[in-house]
Amino acid sequence: MDGEIDGQKYDSNRRTSPAAFFREFLRKPCQVGSVIPSSRFLEQRIVDASDLSAARRVVELGPGTGGTTRAFLRHLSQDAQLLSIELSPFFHEFLDEIADPRYTNHLGSAEDLAEILALYHMGKPDVIISGIPFSKMPKAVASRVAHAVKDNLTEGGRFVAYQFRRDVARITNPIMGTPASCALEMRNIPPMWVFRWCKAAEIDHDDSAL
């Protein structure tokens, strides 16, 4: 479906390439969480868990060839911003094909989330969505990514991670607490767990009152 925002036309429905996705999985299996792009059923479950229609600033970690990215753009409002952070130069080139004024495509690591947000003058996101495979990452790297998510998510913001294993909960729970929801989407290859955490408001302790 084509659309127009501020006089600029964009195509938010262009399909991704399963062959390209599988090729990159074979090249770098530790960076790619699946052998094929996400199904429309998984995309919808992520959209629902994220409450995208109410979000104004969204960050996607590990968008791959952009199938989920295009799905998110279809559900975001016209004044929303979507920033994707992709580690693979191969996938990054695919993402450059998405022509939408709300969208920014960045090549880099999720560990550097704070610096990347500052680079694009983007405030703390309402939603961070992650497709990066926490189960394949070194524990120290996965922990740094989880801390970066918590530190940069706005109060009350949502972190949604879709994974084929549950390792992300083992890593993220000590940092962000128990997930608000967790569901298994069977209509995907492979079946994917969709976790959602909500960032609680920070408590400001006033020592002078003690």
Reported confidence tier of residue 83, pLDDT bands at 50, 70, 90: very high
Buried b / exposed e across 36-52, counting CB within 10 Å, b at 16+? Answer: bbbbeebbebbbbbbeb
pTM summary value? 0.82
Segment 196-204 shows an average pLDDT of 80
For 93-112, what is the mean pLDDT? 95
pLDDT given for residue 204 in this prediction: 52
173-187, pLDDT tens digit by residue? 999 999 999 999 999
Which is nearest to 126 in space by CA: 135, 136, 117?
Answer: 117
Domains and CATH numbers, the chain: 25-199 (3.40.50.150)
In this prediction, residue 36 carries a pLDDT of: 65
pLDDT > 60? residue 209: no
Instruction: Report pLDDT digits (tens) over 104-135.
Output: 999 999 999 999 999 999 999 999 999 998 98
| 8 backbone dihedrals φ, ψ, rounded to 5° | -105, 130
d(CA 103, CA 113): 16
